[in-house]
Amino acid sequence: MVFVSDVPRSWTKASREVQPISTDAIIQYLTNLPHLEKLDIRNAKWLSAENVKSILMDCPGLMTINFVGSGTIAEDPNRVVGGPEESVPWAIKGSRKDVVERLKWV
């Protein structure tokens, strides 16, 4: 899977090869990777605590996670101040254990 944001700008969104993808499709794709060990989803405002819980539940081998800048504060009243910007508690870089512990706040 290649995202339009990851390709040169000369490859336009009007291409026949580009198809829209939903959040649910991305989560379903990830949760079908039971041997996934490392996941880096940064600045993904579409990611929710429920999405994160699904990923953690269905990917038991996941050990290293980076969700920094992800999530939407407006949808998550359990927020913490982490520097100049506010973030949701689980939007961290760390171990599976760290993220699970933060999800307990949600």
Give per-residue pLDDT as tens, 26-84: 999 999 998 999 999 998 888 999 999 999 999 999 999 999 989 876 555 555 544 44
pLDDT over threshold 50, residue 6: yes
Query: CB neighbours of 48 closer than 8 A, spacing ≥ 6?
Result: 71, 72, 75, 76
Give per-residue pLDDT as tens, 17-27: 667 788 999 99
Q: Which of 44, 47, 43, 42 is nearest to 76 (CA)?
A: 47
Q: Is 72 exposed, middle or buried (0-12, 13-18, 19+ CB in 10 A)?
A: middle
pLDDT of 94 reads 96
Query: CB neighbours of 37 closer than 8 A, spacing ≥ 6?
Result: 61, 62, 63, 64
Q: Which helix (H) or strand (E) holds 95?
A: strand 93-95
Specify the pTM.
0.73
pLDDT of 101 reads 93
Query: CB neighbours of 18 closer than 8 A, spacing ≥ 6?
Result: 4
